[in-house]
Amino acid sequence: MSEEKIQVFAPASIANVSCGFDVFGFAIEELGDFVDARFNNQGKIIIESIEGAEGLPLEPELNVTTIAAQALLDEVGEKRGITFNIRKTVIPGSGLGSSASGAVAGAFAANELVGKPFSKLELVRFAGVGEQVASNQLHHDNVAPSMLGGFSVVRSNEPLDVLSIDYPEDIRVVVAHPQIEVKTKQAKRMLGRTMSISNAVIQFGNVAGLVLGMTSKNYDLIGRSMVDMLAEPVRSRLIPLYDEAKQISLEAGAIGTNIAGSGPAIFSFCKGDKSAKAVLEAFKKVYAKSNLSVNYFTSKINPEGAKRIF
């Protein structure tokens, strides 16, 4: 029985990506969950500490990290418990996949401790079990890219079918995160239950266009496909200065700008570092007029996903 402590990292991620509601997602760099994990002798999962976010449950049966880990332990019949120390660098309720990186870190850490019986692609399923608690719905559009890295397409949740697609190497992500909290559950409720078929058809076309734009590295096609008829018209109203920020980012050279997940963070895709810098400045200019606290960063798409640090 190992008492060895490991540390894993699972990155933040941005889901939906305009038209790909509940389907598209990509991983971002550096930000995410750092989780220390070791077997314990108490026969149950324990959370010793959570840093970096307030109000998250320490009860293992309520926490996404430990729910995901427990699902994996149950499946392999592992009777030992794991003790977790969690450090989050993504604020919950930002739209940057905080619960997903938590769930991914839990599943990934448990898999490492029990001897890696599962591939990363298989681990997406366990992370989904944790993520389901946060959003009250089975979806993998954040957990898939956080686990796998890159740009993911969740073709189907049941049965789970996740595809990784190519993207331009010099694509950059710029994020502005106004510090107001939007709960995923609440944001989902705002959408209602139906969409018009005419809007759905527009969305089908853009989903196809965004996939083709990414895989063929055609920035113009990526840009004109970043149209969302479903969530953006409703959810953007929750985000201070959204319309203005979007417009100015596009004028500053962004390929496309939309809501990160269910918000309130906003992201732009840009071509290269120089453009990303210009768009970052444009966002700052917009929010300088407000008295909001806003976090900004630029990132590549993280190609690696979840990883073991030690």
Is 257 assigned a catalytic role?
no
Q: Does 143 bind its own copies (CB under 8 A)?
A: no
Nearest partner of 151 among 20, 252, 290, judged by Cα: 20
Q: Does 190 bind its own copies (CB under 8 A)?
A: no
Q: Does 150 bind its own copies (CB under 8 A)?
A: no
Q: Does 192 bind its own copies (CB under 8 A)?
A: yes
Q: Does 136 bind its own copies (CB under 8 A)?
A: no
Q: Does 293 bind its own copies (CB under 8 A)?
A: no
Distance, CA of 225 to CA of 18 (rounded, Å)? 8
Nearest partner of 239 among 211, 217, 219, 267, judged by Cα: 267
Q: Are 310 and 285 spatial neighbours (Cβ–Cβ below 8 Å)? A: no
Stretch that binds its own copies, among 29-37, 149-157, 238-246, 279-287 (CB under 8 A): 149-157
Binding mask 261-280 for its own copies (x = CB under 8 A): --------------------
Q: Does 233 bind its own copies (CB under 8 A)?
A: no
Stretch that binds its own copies, among 6-14, 43-51, 81-89, 200-208 (CB under 8 A): 200-208
Distance, CA of 224 to CA of 211 (rounded, Å)? 12
Stretch that binds its own copies, among 83-91, 108-116, 150-158, 287-295 (CB under 8 A): 150-158
Q: Are 21 and 158 spatial neighbours (Cβ–Cβ below 8 Å)? A: no
Query: Which member of 147, 211, 259, 276 binds its own copies (CB under 8 A)?
Result: 211
If one counts every other C-beta atom within 10 angstroms of the C-beta of residue 132, the result is: 21
Q: Give the DSSP letter of residue 237.
A: G
The 3-state DSSP class for residue 158 equals coil
Q: In which residue are the tokens 């990186």 written?
A: 101
Is 65 assigned a catalytic role?
no
Q: Least distance (Å) from its own copies to the CB of residue 220?
A: 10
List the catalytic residues: 131, 184
